Each structure stands twice: as structure tokens, then as C-alpha cells.
Chains A and B, each alone.
Chain A
Amino acid sequence: MRISGAEALVRSLQNEGVEVVFGYPGGVALPMFDALFDVVSPRTILVRHEQAAVHAADGYARVTGRPAAVIVTSGPGATNTVTGIANAFMDSIPMVVFTAQVATHVIGTDAFQESDMTGITIPITKHNYLVKNAEDLPDAIKEAFHIATTGRPGPVLIDLPVDVSKAEIDYVYPETLNLPGYKPTYKGHTKQVKQAASLISKARKPLLYAGGGVLASSAWKELKELAELMQLPVVTTLMGKGVFPEDHYLFAGMPGMHGAKYANYAITETDLLIAVGVRFDDRVTGKLSSFASKAKVIHVDIDPAEIGKNKAVDVPIVGDAKNVLAAMVAELRKMTAQPHTDAWMRVIDDWRSRYPLHYHAPEGVLMPEYVVERIRELTKDRPTVITTEVGQNQMWSCQYTRIREPRTWVSSGGLGTMGFGFPAAIGAQLGRPDYLVIDIAGDGSIQMNIQELATAKINHIPVKIIILNNGVLGMVHQWQELFYGERYASSVLDQEVPDFVKLAEAYSCLGLRVTDPAELDAALLRAFDFDGPVIVDCRVPTSENVYPMVAPGGSIDEMLGGIPGGPVSEMLDDEFLEEVWE
């Protein structure tokens, strides 16, 4: 049967099991939207800005592990997706973005709403296609989903000229792929795995350092097995939050610029860093030369380019985290390796008890950390997804939530995209309809995609936006206070503008305001139980900063703020620790 390119696209999405399309139409995208019109699955969600469509697909993929599709028009519709695609690329999130394109015969003539999308997105996609013949479309889509979801996942873009979506073809969805240059390595090298197991069995102060790659490969069970078998303390990155239960006795926090002191101390003191699905990002490592400088390093990653990129590695293992961790566990079992980290865990326990994350709350003042803590406590018994915006709100969320289930934490890691959290929450809610989905936001970030209140309202997507409203661009303000002599250039907003309660009401959503900590629980519970989108405008002090903090470029064991500890080398002179080491 002959069908149009656009119909072939919809059939292909169905063949790939795509459940939801986030999109926004326009002139040359009309054939695609027309083909979607009578279709039950995938469901099409009309957003209010193309950037939000991509973030929604991103949030959906993070909570389900499956890709969604984005369909937008050419020109401005397509260029509006760029930030979203870059965000997904940095965080290795699978998705396929279809941008409509002007007709093939006018490509290159600066036609109305023409932009070179394959050119623009080469550096921010895993791969992209300009499909000039409708016959090539099914193959391109099959390849796109395969590439997006395998190996190190990432966004793939297909640029589709309008005449191609109108042209008729004999539709057959291909069963095989022709990708001679694409062969991700899944199985770790046996000799390397053995060497890693041997190092783990001997290390006195080993530390697991797990990141987003563990999520991408669904390897959390294997990670926990390894940690428990050898009693290894675990730190997780911002991207890896949730891959290891944060209430587990082996959990040693998030390291990095705003990480827990004990996490950073553990990295500084470890003699064997077992890095799994991480990329030694500068926000984690701080000054590279002093990062884990006493340790041998095992690095497991499916992307060979990440190994040795920032940090020299002793045992590189290219492979899928799930396979490699399972192989390590099997090897350690075969060796009947015994855990011997008692002394090391006592040190970490001591750090945990002496340098917990903490904040000072003056009587009657609603503190941002307190808001996050109460969200944590009030959602303890309900399945919850937390998304965040970017900045102070994100760091407080990292510090004061306790994520216990993988794929329930959604935050923009690599790109640090303000405006990500709310549309991502919309996608997350569609991926997990039975979960309570909460976007912890700042008053700056939320205004970057606030228009999506309409999308949430009209499509009955009951996400809860909790704004930590301090009237400033908090993280910028904090850096200006610390490093720019308190000159607050362009970082001051206004707590009263906009009136977020009225704004919510304008979109027929519920708006609540909290100024007194005593009123917080009631407001949060009302929001969580409300059947629809809610904004809770929490008025918090402008002066509150995120601590502890590693100064940019500093060593991670030298942190500002928090409970004074000082460099770990000095602390280890403590009698208690001396005793433990003996």
C-alpha cells in the first residue's frame, strides 16, 4: 500500500513503540501533524514553545528509559529546539527530534523559514539526517532510534523536507540496520575486569563513584550487589542520583562543588576509585591534580572517549555498566573475596556525623533548605519524581532530597539549562502517570518556560511547581557576593513580580503562597493532593547561599561554608582517625 512520507513517519513511530510526541506545528510540518491527527498512539502533546517539547521528551526518557519523539516545524521552530537538544546531548538522553524542512528544491535558497538544521546540530546530536527521498525515511527512522537508544544514548535529529513528507512510498519498516561504523562495545575486557576485581579485593579504602551511565544501562541492581558484597561506600554524581539508595548505610553522598564534605573527603582519601558511568566533570573534580590523587582509578564507561579524557586511569574498562559490574561481582565471588572496609566505613561514618549538610534557620524564617526537607519528608510514602531547575534550587535539591528509586530524579547536569525542570516534569508525569511529580524551581528559572502552564492545565498533567522564590538569580548572586565584591550586576529580580499565585490562576491552575514555615506543610500537602497543576510560591530569604562550596578551580577537600573541617590532610591528624587507621 502506498502511503505518504508523513504517514510512514507515524507508522514508524508506532513500530518503535513511541507513546508520546511533543510538538508544535507550522507551515512545512503540517503533513506530519495531519498524519498524527487521527492517531491514538502515539499521543501528541502540543506545547507552547519548542524548547519545552524537547525538555519534555527528555524528562519522559529519564523516568522511563524509553525515547519520546519531538516534531516541530522548520526555521524558528527547529532552532528553538537547539537548547533542548544540547541539554539531552550533554546528559546522554535518548530521543528522536523531527524538524520539518522547506521543500528539497528550495533548500539552500534562504527560503522562508529555512535553517540548516543538520548543520546546526552536528555538534549537539549523536547523529542526524537530512532525508531527501521518501524511500529513505523508514531506514533513517529505524537507524535514528537504534542510535539514540544504544551505546551511549543521545539525541538524534531527522530533518524532513515538506515534499518528502508528502511523497508517496511503498511502506515497509526495515528489519535490519546498515550501520557499518557503529558498533558499541558492551562486554568489558575479561582481563581488565579481573584486574579490577583484584584491586577491589585488596583496597583498604575503596570508593564507588557512580553516575548517569549506571541509569542509562539500568545497572543499579548490579551496582548495589557489588557495593554490598565488598562493603564499598558509594558516592553518586548529580546525574547518578538515585542509582544507589540515598538512605543506604553505604551511601556517602554527592561529591563536587556543592557536594557533601564527607563525599569530597572520601574521594580525597580513597586508595581505589571505582568510577562507573561518570565523566569526571569539572563540577565534580574541582582541581584535577588533587582529585583522588591517592587512588588507583578503575574507569568503566561505554564511551571510550570518556576514559582518560580528564583523569588518568589505571584500569580502563570499555563496556556497558550492567555487564561489567555483573562480571566484577562474578569474579569477586569466584575469588571468594571478603569485604574489609570496616575501618574505612568508620572514618566515613565519623565524617558523616561531624560534617553533615546543615543550614541555620532563624525563628519564623522560611528557609529554602527547609522547603526541600519538608518535600522529602511529606513524600516519603508516595512514589515521587523530583525534577529541578538550575542554580541554587538545584543544589539544595541535590543536598536535601533522599532519592531512593532510580529514574525518579530529573535534573539538567551537563548543560545546566534554566527552564528545564518544568517541561521535564510534564514529560516525567506522562511517563509515570501514577507518580507525584514535583518541580523544585527558582523564581528565575521557572520564568524561562512558564508558558507551559497551559500545556499542563489543558492536558491534565498535574505537576507541582514549588518555587524557592528569593527574588534573585540565586547562584549568580552567590558568586557575585563571594567573588565579585557584592556587585549584583543583572541578578536582582523582584519577589513580587510576577505574582506567581495570580499567574497560576490566570492559567486556571492552583496558586499558593507560603511565607511562614509553620504554614508550609499544609500548603505542600494541599498541592500534592490537588488534582491539577499547582504553583507554590515559597518566599525565602535572598541572603541564603548554598554551602558547602568548593571555589571554582579549587581542591574539593577545601570547602567554604558548612561545618568547619579544613583540608582532609589536616583532619587526618585527629587521634580518632589515627586509631582507626591502625
Chain B
Amino acid sequence: MNHTLSVLVENKPGVLTRVASLFARRGFNIDSLAVGVTEDPTLSRMTIVVAAEDALLEQVTKQLHKLINVIKIQDLNPKEMIDRELVLFKVNAPPERRHEIIEIANVFRAKIIDVGRQSVTIEATGAGDKLMAMEDLLRTYGIKELTRTGKIALARGSKDAS
């Protein structure tokens, strides 16, 4: 099952390597990882999505806690978190079909951020299922390139992860 870990770490060189190599060492494949500095410049937050059985995940979480630079780990409950991902799609868009694509973008509240002779680039944000639905629709036009940020997440409301 997929888990979303919100990991607060010291903002120091090499911390990402320590965290990522720990997952590799324990045989876990990271589905996505997003990292950036927090409201406190000495701290960064990593949002890590992994597929793992609960018992194995517990062991990895405990091992993660042992890293000196790791301050706090939260296994976010899917029902009590907000998560977002940003995706850029570069889609085949001959002039005669461009309006269809723009319409799809509008429906998903996505933005057209670049237009070329034969393509448009769309910026979309949202939770995983919305972006997947959008990707499915756009595939019929031919997706030339796609890149995503990886999921970022926070616990809802008063559930404070720091």
C-alpha cells in the first residue's frame, strides 16, 4: 500500500543522499520525492511516497529516525492530508485541434503556459487522480513530453506535522 511520509530534516548538504540511500539499502523503491526548504530556513521538508507493507514501513521509519539530520517523520493519513502535484504536459496541438485541448485544460483548471506551432504546454496542479484523468484525456492528442514535481503534502488543519 502507498504511504506518504512527511519528513522534516535539517537543511544541510548530503541529507537527501542519506535519506534516499537508506530507502535503497532497505530495498524500497521511492515512487516520488519532493524536497524544499520550509518556513524555517534551517529546515527542509521531504514528501516521500513509497509502496510498502506496514511492518516493513515501520522498520524503515525507525531507521530513518536514526539519521541524525532527521527531525520528525509523519506517515500522513490519506483521509487527513492535502496533497498536490504539479505536472507540465507538452501536447501535440495542430492549430485545428488546439481549441479542444484548451477546453480540456479549462475543465481541469489548468493553464496554458506556452504555445508552439504544433504544440501547447499545459501546467496542471492537483491531487493524483485528477492529474491521471487529465493525462488520459491528453494522451489521445499525443503527449510529447511530461514532467512532474512529485507529490507534496501536509496534514490537514490542526494536525501539525512539525
Which A residues lie at the B interface, using CB under 8 A?
118-119, 122-123, 126-127, 130, 147, 179-182, 303-305, 308-309
Q: Which residues of A contact B66 (CB under 8 A)?
A: 126, 303, 305
Report how far A290 CA is from B56 CA in the complex, Å: 21
Q: Is the CB of A179 within 8 A of B21?
A: no
Q: Which residues of B contact A123 (CB under 8 A)?
A: 21, 25
Of B10, B14, B59, B68, the contact of A147 (CB 8 Å cutoff)? B68
11 contacts between A and B (CB under 8 A): A122-B17, A122-B21, A123-B21, A130-B13, A179-B68, A181-B10, A181-B68, A181-B71, A182-B68, A305-B62, A305-B63
Q: Is the CB of A130 within 8 A of B21?
A: no
Task: Report the interface size for chain B: residues with CB under 8 A from the other chain.
Answer: 19
Q: Is the CB of A130 within 8 A of B14?
A: yes
Q: Is B65 an interface residue (CB 8 A)?
A: yes
Q: Which residues of A contact B13 (CB under 8 A)?
A: 130
A311 to chain B, nearest CB (A): 12
Q: Is the CB of A122 within 8 A of B70?
A: no
Q: Which residues of B contact A122 (CB under 8 A)?
A: 17-18, 21
Q: Is the CB of B59 within 8 A of A181?
A: no
Q: Which residues of A contact B71 (CB under 8 A)?
A: 180-181
Q: Which residues of A contact B14 (CB under 8 A)?
A: 118, 130
Of A119, A130, A309, the contact of B59 (CB 8 Å cutoff)? A309
* Best-buried of A119, A122, A147 by chain B (most CB within 10 Å): A122
Q: Is B103 an interface residue (CB 8 A)?
A: no
User: Taking CB as reference atom, which chain A residue is nearest B66?
Assistant: A305
User: Taking CB as reference atom, which chain B residue is nearest A308?
Assistant: B58
B65 to chain A, nearest CB (A): 7
Q: Is B122 an interface residue (CB 8 A)?
A: no
Q: Which residues of A contact B17 (CB under 8 A)?
A: 119, 122
As a 0/1 sequence over residues 101 to 119 of chain B, the CB contacts with chain A under 8 angstroms (1 = contact) are: 0000000000000000000
Report how far A308 CA is from B62 CA in the complex, Å: 11
Interface residues of B in 120-159 (CB under 8 A from A): none
Report how far A140 CA is from B70 CA in the complex, Å: 17
User: Taking CB as reference atom, which chain B residue is nearest A181?
Assistant: B71
Report how far A547 CA is from B69 CA in the complex, Å: 46
A355 to chain B, nearest CB (A): 36
The verdict on A181 contacting B9 (CB below 8 Å), with A118-B14, A304-B62 known, is: yes
Q: Is the CB of B18 within 8 A of A180?
A: no
Q: Which residues of B contact A127 (CB under 8 A)?
A: 67-68
Q: Which residues of A contact B21 (CB under 8 A)?
A: 122-123
Q: Which residues of B contact A119 (CB under 8 A)?
A: 17
Report how far A127 CA is from B9 CA in the complex, Å: 14
A476 to chain B, nearest CB (A): 27
User: Taking CB as reference atom, which chain A residue is nearest B21?
Assistant: A122
Q: Is the CB of B65 within 8 A of A305?
A: yes
Q: Which residues of A contact B67 (CB under 8 A)?
A: 127, 181
Q: A122-B18, A181-B68, A182-B68 given. 12 additional CB < 8 A pairs?
A: A122-B21, A123-B21, A123-B25, A126-B68, A127-B68, A179-B68, A181-B9, A303-B66, A304-B65, A305-B62, A305-B63, A305-B65
Report how far A119 CA is from B10 CA in the complex, Å: 18
Report how far A304 CA is from B58 CA in the complex, Å: 10
B20 to chain A, nearest CB (A): 10
Report how far A180 CA is from B63 CA in the complex, Å: 17
Q: Which residues of A contact B10 (CB under 8 A)?
A: 180-181
Interface residues of B in 49-90 (CB under 8 A from A): 58-59, 62-63, 65-71
Report how far A180 CA is from B12 CA in the complex, Å: 13
Q: Which residues of A contact B58 (CB under 8 A)?
A: 308
B5 to chain A, nearest CB (A): 15
Report how far A303 CA is from B21 CA in the complex, Å: 20
A329 to chain B, nearest CB (A): 28
User: Taking CB as reference atom, which chain A residue is nearest B42?
Assistant: A180
A147 to chain B, nearest CB (A): 6
Report how far A272 CA is from B13 CA in the complex, Å: 47
The 7 closest A-B pairs by CB, nearest first: A305-B62, A181-B71, A127-B68, A182-B68, A181-B70, A304-B62, A180-B71
A161 to chain B, nearest CB (A): 14
A9 to chain B, nearest CB (A): 20
Report how far A257 CA is from B154 CA in the complex, Å: 48
As a 0/1 sequence over residues 13 to 29 of chain B, the CB contacts with chain A under 8 angstroms (1 = contact) are: 11001100100010000
* Best-buried of A130, A179, A305, A308 by chain B (most CB within 10 Å): A305
A62 to chain B, nearest CB (A): 22
Report how far A309 CA is from B60 CA in the complex, Å: 10
Q: Which residues of B contact A182 (CB under 8 A)?
A: 68
* Best-buried of A126, A181, A303, A309 by chain B (most CB within 10 Å): A181
Q: Is the CB of B68 within 8 A of A305?
A: no
Q: Which residues of A contact B70 (CB under 8 A)?
A: 181
Report how far A123 CA is from B22 CA in the complex, Å: 8
Q: Which residues of B contact A118 (CB under 8 A)?
A: 14
Report how far A179 CA is from B69 CA in the complex, Å: 8
User: Taking CB as reference atom, which chain B residue is nearest A119?
Assistant: B17
User: Taking CB as reference atom, which chain B residue is nearest A129?
Assistant: B14
Q: Which residues of B contact A304 (CB under 8 A)?
A: 62, 65
Q: Which residues of B contact A147 (CB under 8 A)?
A: 68
